Structure 1
Amino acid sequence: MKKIVIGFLMLLGMLIADDIVWQKDLDSALELAKKENRLLMVMVEGEHCRWCKKMRYRTLSNDAVVAKLKPFVNIRVMQEDKAVMKELPKIQGVPTIFFMYPDKEVIETAVGYFNVADFLSFFVSVDRKVRQKKQNKQLSSDK
């Protein structure tokens, strides 16, 4: 009985763990990111992509990943939506995740399924590149 209760609680936790706020469309996500001076995380999925589903339900539902994504404007788009895909950089497969500035400049790209530890490593790279860009802007404005 104890194992059943623990299993039920784990399942319930997995179902409600998705605390990521997903924007409805790319235009409103870009507008929000510009307005609030935030970075974007764009996840491109395929309708029948099992790796996309694994990415969402295993990696993106992890508490550490959810916490890292809180400052981002997050959006999921479907590869089959040709109008939206024209506004994004070309992809090599799904899932593809772009970390980008509100002007659509790509900071980092993750292609394929990543487990939690590997996905969290992208935040280190994104942080480093954002800091480097700010330093470069500061140096050029000081001249």
Structure 2
Amino acid sequence: MKTFITILFLASSLFGFETDKWLHDYNTAVNQAQKEQKNIYLFVGADRCHFCKRFKEVTLSQKKVIQRLRQDYILVYLSRDRHFIPKKFQRFGVPRHYFLNSQGKILFESFGVLEPAGFFTLLDEADLNTNN
């Protein structure tokens, strides 16, 4: 029994990215961002995308990454397979990363799989564009 619980715990820690804790509706995110006076981080992915899965498992499962994101952003995950994605955002070439102001204006965008260190660099770049 102890082995089963240990395996269950380890498996859950490997998949630390839980999309149920992210918003899945763009308009709800904009409304919340305006109320909280925060910017928006929009992650566009696909359910069967190997690169999206890797980004979730390697980068978004890191506590430091999520803490930094939650500090400054409303987090939105839109799967092109399940969610409505407004026309101004690309649906293909995922994973896609959009940094938006509270009105939904795109401040910075990128795509691809990033390791945590590379993602922190991306966040720094997005912060620079936010301040301009």
- 2-structure distance, mates of 1:11, 1:92: 29
**Residue 79 of structure 1: aligned partner:** 80
**Residue 62 of structure 2: aligned partner:** 62
**Residue 32 of structure 1: aligned partner:** 32
Contact 1:79/1:85 (<8 A) preserved:
no
- 1-structure distance, mates of 2:76, 2:83: 16
- Give the drift of 1:82: 8.0
- Give the drift of 1:109: 1.3
- 2-structure distance, mates of 1:91, 1:29: 18
What secondary structure does 2:107 align onto?
Answer: strand
Going from structure 1 to structure 2, the CA distance change for 1:49 and 1:130 (only over 3 Å counts) comes to same
* CA displacement 1:102-128 (0-9 Å, x = unmatched): 222222212111111111111111222
- 2-structure distance, mates of 1:24, 1:91: 15
Contact 1:108/1:122 (<8 A) preserved:
no
Give the TM-score taking structure 2 as reference length: 0.79
What secondary structure does 1:23 align onto?
Answer: coil
Structure 2: unaligned runs, 5 residues or longer: none
Q: Read off the aligned partner of 1:54 and give its amino acid letter.
A: R
- The structure with the larger Rg is 1
Structure 1: unaligned runs, 5 residues or longer: 134-143
What secondary structure does 2:85 align onto?
Answer: helix
CA RMSD of aligned residues (A): 2.5
Correspondence list, 1:1-143, <5 A: 8=7, 10-15=10-15, 17-18=16-17, 21-71=21-71, 72-80=73-81, 83-86=84-87, 88-90=88-90, 93-131=93-131, 133=132
- How many residue pairs end up in the alignment? 126
What secondary structure does 1:94 align onto?
Answer: coil
Give the TM-score taking structure 1 as reference length: 0.74
- Give the drift of 1:81: 5.8
